[in-house]
Every structure is written in structure tokens, then in C-alpha cells.
Amino acid sequence: MTTISISTAPRAPKPAAPPAGVKSPPALRIRLLGSIDVVTHGLVTEIPGARRKALLAALALRIGQPVSSDLLIDVVWSGNTPSTVLNTLQSHMSYLRRTLVRRGCIVASAPGYRLDRSVVETDLQIAEQLISEAERTPDLEQKSAQLQTALNMWRGKPLEDVRGHPWLDEQAERIDRLRYSAVKSLTDARLMLGEHSALIGVLEDLADRHPFDEDLHGQLMLAHYRAGRQADALATFRRLRSRLVDELGINPGRALRDLEQAVLRQDRRLDIQPLEGARRAVSGAAVTQLPPAATPLIGRADELRSLDAIINSPQATSSTTAAPVIAVTGAPGVGKSSVALHWAHQVLPDFPDGRLYVDLRGFDAVKPPVGAAEALRSFIGALGVPQNQLPDEINALAGLYRSLLAGKRVLVLLDNARDADQVRPLLPSAAGCLALVTSRSDLASLAVTNGAHLLRLAPLTTPASIDLLTSRIGGRGPGIDRRIAEHISVVCGGLPLALAIIGCRQLTHPHERIADLAAQMLTPSDALDVLDGGDPSTDLRSVFSTSYERLTDAGADVFRALASITSPEITLTAAKACSGGNESVVRLGLNELVRANLLEVHSRESYTMPPLLRAFAAELTSLDRVHQCS
């Protein structure tokens, strides 16, 4: 029989005393944040055998939950399953039960086994709880102490001696991400506490190990600057910029570029700002900034269910993950803001601590986009911090904003975003919050860097379009024929904005029969003359123009050329023929139009475009000809 090696060194760290009224923690702890072992009253018990360690790790990673025998067998034997596997599994379980000493630690629980969390704990469980509590506290000193205590639980690489199985490797990567997030939160808090000099060495080491992390390099630049090392701060920026350009072909984001300019100006706003107002602010009443939702919302039941599914997923409800981000995207006029607002009002009870809202004006025809710093000041002010106590540098603003939201359940609706760069500084980090973003851009990079869930809205179906139109007009009363409503719905291509403009026009011009209005809309081109609600936000030409003006020359050329394709389905071959460009240039233009939601992918080599957008493209082509003739 294999003997168990028991050592009195190293002793496990003594757990902190529990708060008043909280039950004392179990005396038996399984350690996963390094090599796998068991600690009982401070004595470390080694677990012999890689398979037994893997088995114990699988149970401990799901502490309190049943782990199926199938998963345990797969983890331990990795497909090389012996014929006596069930007997061998039971034998290993018996061995672990004896090793864990405490009666009832491992419980048979269909469809497998479960670790009873009332009599055993894990170091990972403790670290996750400390990190979660730290994110909820507005007190920076307490936050810093809790995060440091959590990070001290790591003794090496997590699951160090059971690597090599895909499931365990995924768990180890998740734990690595948890630690890295906690490290960044800790350095953020310590920078706000004025510990910049002590942090420089730590941040330099982290920057070497994470060479593309812009937030981390921003922290290092700020630490250098506040320590009187302006040249080092600028050198850090230049090294990162060269690395991004040479290896990824991209430039640093706007936030880091702004920080570089602030360092060059020796902007006094980079100095440490007073935070007493911020610490008091979190005790105020819940903020409610959401505009009223347009009613009724027709034809979007599936999309609302998709949003519910995202927010109720295990990833979103976990107390240790970052705040989820949902991006609702789609073509101009497809109803992104209406869907987001309607759903946001439905889930208000889930966010009792506040609902922040900003129209970022990413595609406004009159006003410029709202800068991230301006939006942050607005949010922080709404949370109760006096404006004269706000830092001016955007990284400091973002850090303060996220600290204020720590421990809160707040919904943040970022409406009409221009691009991912405009959104990133406004994303909350604390679990329990939610960022809901709407944009005409596809925001794919937000999914890559921030794990955003993407929900693309398609135009309404014809039946839903008819229902929306008739509801806007007031039902199928005298003079409203369903065939006429169907014709208008088809011409409008299922765009809710276009249908709403028609409905409101009928209400504001009661003398104008719907049949006469339909007669003016025989084609999508005719419809553009009718679809003007009286201001740039409800004039469909103006709405389309703001997307078109953001295109590159190549994208704009392809967009105009597509108007000459008569088939509803646009193939790459047809796009190349009508644009006159080479295939690579045309393909780049088509991809840009897809990212801008001016074109929809139909299949691998074909696309579709809403009829009103195609009519708008045709108008632009006609204007080109007029200019050429003149």
C-alpha cells in the first residue's frame, strides 16, 4: 500500500477570522493554486499519484456540485479507459475519502460524486470570494488589502501537477485569467492610493510578460510620470506603439494616445486627485437615466429572448466574472435603440443600484460624437461625485468610475456608439453590472478584447412590418387596406424607422389617405422622398448618409457600384464586374460594408442589401454622373 507523506512544512496560511455572525470556515482545505494537496489544521498532506490528484482536482473545482462519473473518468484516463474503470474509480474514491479524514467529505451524488462544501473548502474558493468582495467595496485601502490577500493564495501555477488534460487545462487558464484581472485591479487601486513609486518594478515585469496589454502599459506610464520619470513614461509608450505596429499592424488605442499627450504637456491633471467625494458618493440613491421605451415593440420577441438568455447564462451570473457586455448591432434604422431600451426597462429589477444612459452620438448628422471622457464625467457626476473633485486624465476617470460601481448592480446603456474605442473606457468591470451597447458598427473587436456578446438585428419580416405599420396608424380602420400596408412594408424593407415615419406621417396628415401615400412609394427610390420625418434623425437619407460618410474611398466606391446590380442577391463576381476593381480591393470594400452593417452576408460569396439602402446608393451614383458632366 502506498503511504501518505505528511509534512509540517510548509504550513498553510492561517485563514482570516470570519466576520461576526459568519460560520467558521471548515478546518480541511484542498489547495489548487499550485501543486495539489490537502491541509488539515495547518498540516499539509501530499496526495500521491497523478490520477488521484486529477480526480481530487475535478471534484474541488466543482465543490458543492455533483461531478458525473463520465467526466471524472475522462479527466483521469483521457480516453485510455481500462475495462475495470468503474471499479478503479471507486477504489480511488475510497482512498481519497480516507485521506480527507473528515467523514462525509466526498458524497455519492447522481450522476457521480460531490465534495461537501460544508466540511471542506478550497484555496480557489477563498480567493474568488476575496476578489469578489474587493470589487464590491468603495474603500480603496480595504480593496487593496483584500486583493493582496487573495493573490497571496497562489503558490505557483494553478493545478500545476495535473496539466495535460483539456478540461483541466481550461480550468487552469480560467484561474490564470482570474489572477491577472485581480493583479490589474490591485495596481489600479494602489495607483489611486499614491503608491506609484513602489509599483514601477511590478508593472515593468508585468508589461514584459503581457507585451500587448494597453491598460497595463497605461498604468506603467502613469506610475513613471508620477514618480518624476517623464522620459521613461514616453519610452514605454513608444516601445508599445512600435510593437503593436510591427507585430499586429495597429496603433495604440485612443486612451493611451491621450495619455501620451498629457505626459508631453506635463498636464497637472495627471497628478493624484482627491477621492473623498468619490468615497461618499456611493451611498446615494440609485440613479435612473434611462429614457422612456417606445411602445409597442413588435416583431422582436426572439431578440428579447436572446438577451434574456445572455444575462441568465452561467458566465453572466457568476459572481467572479467581469461585468458582461452585450452589443446590439444592425443596419441604420433597424431599431437597435428601441430593442435595447425596451429590454433595459424589462430587466430594471435586476439592477436596483442604478441605470446609467448616454447617447454617444456616433452617427449623429448634426452634433459630434460624445467623447469617452465627457461620458465618464457625466456618469461619475450622476453617481454623486462633485465635478471639482474629478480627475481630467481619462485613465484616472475610468478607474474612479469603475471603483464607484464596485459592489453595485448597475445597468449601463451606451447608445449609438461609433466604434469600440469610444465604448471601452465606459465599460464597468465589477461583476453584477451590465454594459448594453448599440451601434451600426459590428463591434467585432469588442467581442475579441472584452468578450462582448453580439446580437445583430435583421430587418423585420413582412408580417411583423405590417403589424408595426398598422399599430402606428391605429389599426386597420377605414382606408387602411392590408394589401396597401403589405406594399409599404415591402418597399420599406422591414426597417422599423421607415415604417414609423410612415405611420407618424399618416397621423400628422389625416387628410392624406394611406392609399395616396402608398401610390407615392411605388419603388424604394420613390419612398426616400416620402421618408422624411422632419429632422435629421428621422430623415432616412440623412440617417443613411451618416453611415456612408464614414466609409473609406474603397468602401464608398463599392457601395455606389452595388446599386447597378438588379438581382436581390449580390455576388462577389457581380460586385467586381460593376465596380471595375480587382478582386482583392472589391472584397475589402464588401467586408467594410458588412462591418458597417450596410450589407448582409447571405452565403460565402454572396450578400444582400435592404432595398432602401440600395436606392440610396443609386442616388449617389446619379449624383456622381451629374458632377462628372458638370
Average pLDDT, the chain: 82
In the predicted model, what is the mean pLDDT of residues 15-35?
Answer: 61
In the predicted model, what is the mean pLDDT of residues 250-256?
Answer: 90
pLDDT of 49 over the 70 cut = yes
pLDDT band at 273 (very low <50, low <70, confident <90, very high): low
pLDDT tens figures, 112-149: 888 888 888 899 999 998 998 888 877 787 888 889 88
pLDDT of 477 over the 70 cut = no
* More confident position, 101 or 209: 209
In the predicted model, what is the mean pLDDT of residues 204-223?
Answer: 91
So what's the pLDDT on residue 478? 47
Report for 264-273, 306-315, 409-418: range of highest mean pLDDT = 409-418
* More confident position, 443 or 391: 443
Whole-angstrom distance, CA of residue 112 vs CA of residue 488:
60
Of 36-45, 121-130, 240-249, 394-403, the least confident: 36-45
pLDDT of 316 over the 70 cut = no
pLDDT of 393 over the 50 cut = yes
* More confident position, 526 or 284: 526
* More confident position, 535 or 180: 180
pLDDT band at 628 (very low <50, low <70, confident <90, very high): very low
Q: What is the per-residue DSSP string for 145-186?
A: HHHHHHHTT--SSTTTTSTTSHHHHHHHHHHHHHHHHHHHHH
pLDDT tens figures, 347-369: 888 888 889 999 999 998 888 89
* Measured CA angle at 209 (ends 323, 426), to 5 deg: 25
Q: Are 252 and 243 in contact (CB under 8 A)?
A: no
First to last CA, the chain: 97
pLDDT of 475 over the 60 cut = no
**Fold for domain 286-457?**
Rossmann fold (3.40.50)
Q: Are 67 and 171 in contact (CB under 8 A)?
A: no
Instruction: Give me the count of residues in the chain.
Output: 630
In the predicted model, what is the mean pLDDT of residues 56-74?
Answer: 87
3-state secondary structure of 294: coil
* More confident position, 519 or 388: 519
6-126 and 550-629 in the same fold: yes
pLDDT band at 317 (very low <50, low <70, confident <90, very high): low
pLDDT of 75 over the 90 cut = no
Considering the four listed CATH numbers 3.90.1300.10, 3.40.50.720, 1.10.10.10, 3.40.50.1390, the one that applies to the domain covering 6-126 is 1.10.10.10
Q: Please state the domain extents for the chain.
A: 6-126, 135-270, 286-457, 462-540, 550-629
pLDDT of 208 over the 80 cut = yes
160 burial (CB, 10 Å; 0-12 / 13-18 / 19+) is middle
In the predicted model, what is the mean pLDDT of residues 540-561?
Answer: 91
* More confident position, 56 or 193: 56
* Measured CA angle at 30 (ends 26, 36), to 5 deg: 170
pLDDT tens figures, 81-122: 777 778 888 888 888 888 776 556 888 777 888 888 888 889
User: Would strands 121-122 and 28-31 be described as parallel, antiparallel, or unpaired?
Assistant: parallel
So what's the pLDDT on residue 198? 82
Which H helix or E strand runs over 39? strand 37-40
122: cell is 478550497
Please state, as a whole number, how many other Cβ atoms lie within 10 Å of the Cβ of residue 604. Answer: 6
Buried residues in 37-48 as b, exposed as e (16+ CB within 10 A): bbbbeeebbebe
Q: Which CATH class is domain 550-629?
A: mainly alpha
Long-range contacts of 145-150, Cβ-Cβ distance < 8 Å, separation of 24 or more: 147/182, 147/185, 147/186, 147/189, 148/186, 149/16, 150/126, 150/182
So what's the pLDDT on residue 94? 81
3-state secondary structure of 42: coil
| Percent of the chain's residues with pLDDT above 90 | 30
| Percent of the chain's residues with pLDDT above 70 | 87
Name beta bridge partners: 357: 413
pLDDT of 41 over the 50 cut = yes
So what's the pLDDT on residue 551? 92
Q: What is the pTM of this model?
A: 0.58
So what's the pLDDT on residue 312? 80
pLDDT of 202 over the 60 cut = yes
The amino acid present at 549, given as its one-letter code, is E
Which H helix or E strand runs over 600? strand 600-603
Give domain 135-270's CATH superfamily.
Tetratricopeptide repeat domain (1.25.40.10)
